[in-house]
């Protein structure tokens, strides 16, 4: 894709699942990639090795992005590694599903901090250098659940809807500096995050999805690569659903 070769990308939560797919795709497009992870050091290293084996450049950096200081350190170390950050993908995320009446405060806080506060933490840390270089592509991985809601996921839906408001507001702030801010809203993608879902619910979701299949990390990564490319330089504040049409059925 146009304009990606030689760019520096920081992908949060890139050790597994969708983030891993995004890191690999951006590397294929010629980006140097910072593979952020929290707990899965071996998996993150495996992503780095895979990128290197294909002739690319990557480093793994551990940081819990829900923590403001850790996010600052992550960005500092990323800048030390590659000198700049052109593309930031806020992908790290988690769930703690429960009906609201039974939802523990700690589960509300964990999900909001991991999914939403992390966007504030990492973006704020990376933004200054993007402003200075007058170039940036920020892509936030939200969810169709942030658009449509989902029983048992009020914490997750609130975090993902919050990411959409964050995306649109920041797009207005930084557009004049040639920085675009967009969101990608995946539908159902089988990853570690969704393994707990009952078989019946998965069947129902696929049946409701007009293209009649689950998504893959590669489907989501393709949308991210497009939004990061020069072909998307006139797109900002947009939420791109990559869901096989699922959200239309909600």
Q: Which of 56, 136, 162, 186 binds ligand NAP (CB under 6 A)?
A: 186
Specify whether the backbone of 159 is left (phi greater than 0), alpha (psi in -120 to 50) or beta.
Answer: alpha
CB nearer to ligand NAP: pick between 103 and 202:
202
Which residue from 194, 216, 229, 249 is in contact with ligand NAP, where contact means CB under 6 A?
194
Please list, residue by residue across 224-237, b when 16 or more beta carbons sit within 10 angstroms of its beta carbon and e when fewer do: bbbbbbeebeeebb
x/- map, 55-94, ligand NAP, by CB under 6 A: ---------xxx------------------------xxxx
Which residues are 59's β-sheet partners?
34
Q: Is 150 in the site for ligand NAP (CB under 6 A)?
A: no
Quick check: 47 and 71 in contact, CB under 8 A?
no
| Residue among 4, 9, 19, 34 that touches ligand NAP (CB under 6 A) | 19
Q: Is the Cβ–Cβ distance between 71 and 125 less than 8 Å?
A: yes
Return the beta strands (E) in the chain as ranges: 8-11, 32-37, 58-62, 87-90, 136-141, 179-186, 239-242
> Is residue 68 flagged as an active site residue?
no
Which residue of 9, 15, 121, 179 would you call a contact of ligand NAP, by CB under 6 A? 15
Find where tokens 């084996």 sit: 53
166 binds ligand NAP (CB under 6 A): no
Of residues 36 and 236, the one with the C-beta less far from ligand NAP? 36
- Give me the catalytic one of 37, 135, 156, 188: 156
Q: Is 123 in the site for ligand NAP (CB under 6 A)?
A: no
Q: Which of 78, 189, 225, 246 binds ligand NAP (CB under 6 A)?
A: 189
Phi and psi at residue 36, in whole multiples of 5°? -80, 145
DSSP state of 45: H
| DSSP tag of 114 | I
For binding to ligand NAP (CB under 6 A), which residues are involved?
A: 12-13, 15-19, 36-40, 64-66, 91-94, 114-115, 141, 143, 186, 188-189, 191-194
Kindly list the catalytic residues. Answer: 156
């Amino acid at each position: 894709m146009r304009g990606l070769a030689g760019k520096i990308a920081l992908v949060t939560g890139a050790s597994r699942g969708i983030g891993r797919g995004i890191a690999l795709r951006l590397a294929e497009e010629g980006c140097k990639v910072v593979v952020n992870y929290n707990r899965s050091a071996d998996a993150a290293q495996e992503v780095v090795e895979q990128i290197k084996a294909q002739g690319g450049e990557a480093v793994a950096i551990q940081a819990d992005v829900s923590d403001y200081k850790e996010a600052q350190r992550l960005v500092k170390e990323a800048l030390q590694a590659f000198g700049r950050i052109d593309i930031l993908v806020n992908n790290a995320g988690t769930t703690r599903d429960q009906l609201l009446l039974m939802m523990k405060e700690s589960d509300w806080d964990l999900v909001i901090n991991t999914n939403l506060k992390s966007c504030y933490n990492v973006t704020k840390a990376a933004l200054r250098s993007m402003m200075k270089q007058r170039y940036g592509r920020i892509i936030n991985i939200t969810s169709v659940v942030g658009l449509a809601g989902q029983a048992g996921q009020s914490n997750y839906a609130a975090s993902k809807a919050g990411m959409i408001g964050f995306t649109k507001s920041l797009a207005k702030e930084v557009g004049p500096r040639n920085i675009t801010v967009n969101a990608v809203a995946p539908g159902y993608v089988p990853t570690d995050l969704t393994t707990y879902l009952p078989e019946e619910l998965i069947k129902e979701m696929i049946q409701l999805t007009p293209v009649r299949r689950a998504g893959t990390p590669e489907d989501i990564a393709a949308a991210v690569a497009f939004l990061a490319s020069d072909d998307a330089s006139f797109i900002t504040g947009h939420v791109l659903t990559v869901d096989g049409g699922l959200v239309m059925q909600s």
